[in-house]
Amino acid sequence: MRIIHAVGLALAVDLTLGFNGGLYRLLYDWVLPFRGLRVPARADILVLLGTAVFAGYGLTRLMGELNRPAVRGALVAGAIGLASVECLARPVLVPVETDSAVLYSWLKAAPDAVLFEWPVTVPWRLYEMVDLSYMARSTIHWRPMLNGYSGFYPDSYLRLLVEMRSFPDTRSLKVLRDRGATILVLHEYPETRVRYVRAIERLMRDPLVEPIAQDRDGRGRVAFFRLLPRPKPASSETAQQQDRR
C-alpha cells in the first residue's frame, strides 16, 4: 500500500511542474479537460494529500514506540495542533476604489474603444500586479483592454510589459497601435508622479495622440487620450495627380 502512495505522490509532484514535467504534457495532449486547467501548480494539493498519508504512517510508527497513553495522547494533540496552525491563512485584502473617474462611464458609449492603462506591471515583479485595479474598473464600461490578469502570463502579455517600459515613446505607441489600442488611460500614483507628468507632456506634443480629458480617481489624477491611427501613405497614383495640379 505504501508503494502505491509513494507512486501517487511522485506523480503529483511531476504534475505540479506543468509543461516542465512529463505527466501534465501527456494529459494535456490526450485528456481534453486538462487543457482548461489554469494553473498546473495547483496540483500541489495532491502533493499535500500524499505527504499527509506518509505523515500518518510516521505518526503511527512513533506512537507504537511509546508505552504511556498520556504521552501518546499529547503527541496526537500536538500533531493536530501543528497541522491546524500550518493551515491558517491571513489573506491581504486590497480595498476597492469606489470613486473611479467619471470618464470610465463615457467609454460605454464608445464602441471602438480598446483601452490601454498605464502604468503597467513591472515584468520582473509580476507579484505586484497593478492590472487588478484596471480589471475592476473595466466592469464600469466593459470595453476590451490590453491589460489583464488571469494567473497565466502568455508570451504576448510579457512582451507587452517589456515594450511598455519606455512608454510613451514612438516605438511603444506603435506597438499599441499594432495591438489595436485606441484609448490611453494614464494614472498618477504617488510613486509615479514625475513619470506621469513627463508622459502627459510627451503625449501632448504628439500629433497622433488626441487629448480627451483629465479627471481624478481615488489615488490621483487620471488622463484620457485617443490614440489616432497613422495616416496611410499616399499611393503613387495619388501622388502623380497631386503633382499635375
pLDDT for the residue 235: 59
Would you state the cell numbers that stand for residue 153, as one nine-digit string?
A: 502570463
Residue 233 per-residue DSSP state: P
Buried b (16+ CB within 10 A) or exposed e, 62-97: eeeeeeeeeebeeeeeebeeeeeeeeeeeeeeeeee
Question: Quick check: helix, strand or coil at residue 105?
Answer: helix
> What pLDDT, on a 0 to 100 scale, did the predictor assign at position 241?
56
For position 195, what pLDDT does the model report?
93
Measured CA to CA, the distance from residue 95 to residue 98 in angstroms comes to: 9
* Cell output for 201: 507632456
pLDDT at 171: 94
Low-confidence ranges of the chain (pLDDT < 70): 94, 96-99, 151, 234-245
State residue 96's pLDDT score.
67
Segment 51-103, tens digit of pLDDT? 989 988 888 888 888 888 888 888 889 888 988 887 787 777 767 666 677 78
Rounded Cα gap, residues 245 and 6, in angstroms: 85
CA distance 203 to 117: 14
The reported pLDDT for the residue numbered 208 is: 93
